[in-house]
Amino acid sequence: MGSPKKPLRRSQEWFGREGKQGFYYRSWLKGLGLPNDMFDGRPVIGICNTWSELTPCNSSFRELAEHVKRGVYEAGGFPLEFPVMSLGETQMRPTAMLFRNLASMDVEESIRANPIDGVVLLMGCDKTTPALMMGAASVNLPTIGLSGGPSLSGNWRGQPIGSGTGVIRMSEMVRAGELAQEEFVEAEACMQRSKGSCMTMGTASTMASMVEALGLSLPENAAIPAVDSRRFRLAHLSGRRIVEMVHEDLRMSKILTRAAFENAIRANAAIGGSTNAVIHLLALAGRLGVELALDDWDRLGSHLPCLVNLKPSGDYLMEDFYYAGGLPAVLREIAPHLHLGALTANGRTLGDNIATAPCWNRDVIRPIEEPLKREAGIAVLRGNLAPDGAVIKPSAASAHLLQHRGRAVVFENIDDFKARIDDEALDIDETCVMVLKNCGPRGYPGMAEVGNMPLPPKLLRRGITDIVRISDARMSGTAYGTVVLHASPEAAAGGNLALVRDGDFIELDVPGRRLHLDLADDELARRRAAWKAPPPPERGWAKLYVDHVQQAHLGADLDILVGGSGSDVAGDSH
């Protein structure tokens, strides 16, 4: 008997061809020094790389990709690395979020257009993770996620400082006259001590945790530091595993089920994760056709406690989280609330993966009976100020402000805010509610992380560190405060947020899930009749984005990108 016939893989539509077309597709790759048997039908693995020197969080990815390749070769696969747009949260203006959907298009079309049977997604900085998952989901090939990992813990003058959280805190100290500017500058290098993403439980670490909770990565993906050799071991194992996933035809849609998303929502509560996860998971679910709504975040996760004692909600940093047991230890603590039968990328169930997960430090990862904070998941607020919803992260808020009624101090846009916030004559005190407009998906455009507005210096000098803030913007996962975000519809789309004026009274009731502007309907109607929409961008990506972006409660994806086009192979290029 002859040897069993190898399955005809997608890549063989390129490499298994005879005549002129096969010559084209194989010959140019042979220019890399590849032997002929690399084209014999073995799985071709695309390594989707977001390395860039403009994205310091992802600056270890060249080396990480080499370890993935080792695993792919070892398992009998054929690795081919390709670049896609890299979204550096620390450098890109006006905001990396403006380009999340664009990068997802880059990923989707790069995968579909090339001879790829399975994909490894190298992702780290905030928006690269959802962008890569969204793009890959719209193709739906066997896919495994590999995060780049957090940087080493920051340390300044013997004290731990964390990405973003430390910046915000020290910046407020400078503005209050409590810290010299030269000391502030000195702390810069002390905070970022190595390659890697934010080492607080900001959006990057949150999304790495979401990848693992969804089951799209191998266990321990979320927390291994970027420069730890165990991150490279995980890369090697991910390279091995993706080849097996191709053999098993284990596609993204088989892993990213409704149960997986429910697990991720509950995990986000337990880690005190970023509000940005709300928008990203809603968008990802939309690419897969999984029914997921904003209210699911409140219904499924808001009653769960925060167990992870990490900044900005607690005291520690991601390096400590890893040494304490990482996400597997957290998931084991909340196991009764999870769908333990959910399939994961290693071919095992989530329950199997966490069954014996140890916890080595109970101050970093608290037992569920003694949490860091109770009922700490994302709360969804509704009312006439946000009829389609707004979100708040109670674990990062001040308890005494969760029920509050105050006078509005309104900023029409971010430039108005920056021009007036330091003015000693600004009519504001700690009972007021700061309102920022026109910073949502259309308004900025891109929905920048400006919702956690810095307080006026005159309040900081009095020791006031938090007041209620409301906007249609996002905030960094490293930020903190009683900050209401993602108000939908946004001001630039004609939401009632656009109609708020100085002196109006606003009621925030987080336990009652209410966000209300104390105005009669006829007054709102009168103001709406006088409202004019801001002018849209005139060209390029910004115009396409504003013309098609959905509101925050739908995930801020483009309406033309919802769903997917699959992995069908297009016609020949010659």
Task: Please determine, for residue 319, whether its predicted confidence score (pLDDT) is greater than 60.
Answer: yes
For 44-54, how does the pLDDT look when each residue is reduced to its tens digit (9 = 90+)? 999 999 999 99
Task: Please determine, for residue 137, whether its predicted confidence score (pLDDT) is greater than 80.
Answer: yes
For 479-515, how does the pLDDT look when each residue is reduced to its tens digit (9 = 90+)? 889 999 999 999 999 999 999 999 999 999 999 999 9
Q: Which amino acid is at 557?
A: D
d(CA 253, CA 117): 15
The confidence score (pLDDT) of residue 1 equals 43
Entry pTM: 0.95
CA dist list (Å): 106 to 110, 393, 442, 458, 530? 6, 32, 21, 46, 41
Q: What DSSP string describes 168-236?
A: HHHHHHHHTTSS-HHHHHHHHHHH--SSSB-SSSSHHHHHHHHHHHHT-S-TTTTTS-TTSHHHHHHHH
Q: What is the mean pLDDT of residues 198-202?
A: 90
pLDDT band at 559 (very low <50, low <70, confident <90, very high): very high
The first and second tokens of residue 220, run together, are 């321990």
d(CA 275, CA 151): 21
What residue spans of 427-497 are helical by DSSP H? 457-460
For 16-51, how does the pLDDT look when each residue is reduced to its tens digit (9 = 90+)? 999 999 999 999 999 999 999 999 999 999 999 999
Q: Which domains does the chain have, with CATH numbers?
A: 11-256 (3.40.50), 379-534 (3.50.30.80)
Q: What is the largest CA-CA distance in the chain?
A: 90
Task: Please determine, for residue 478, whether its predicted confidence score (pLDDT) is greater than 80.
Answer: no
Q: What is the mean pLDDT of residues 375-400?
A: 93
- Residue length of the chain: 574
pLDDT band at 453 (very low <50, low <70, confident <90, very high): very high
How far is CA 224 from its chain centroid? 18
The confidence score (pLDDT) of residue 334 equals 98
Q: What is the mean pLDDT of residues 302-310?
A: 95
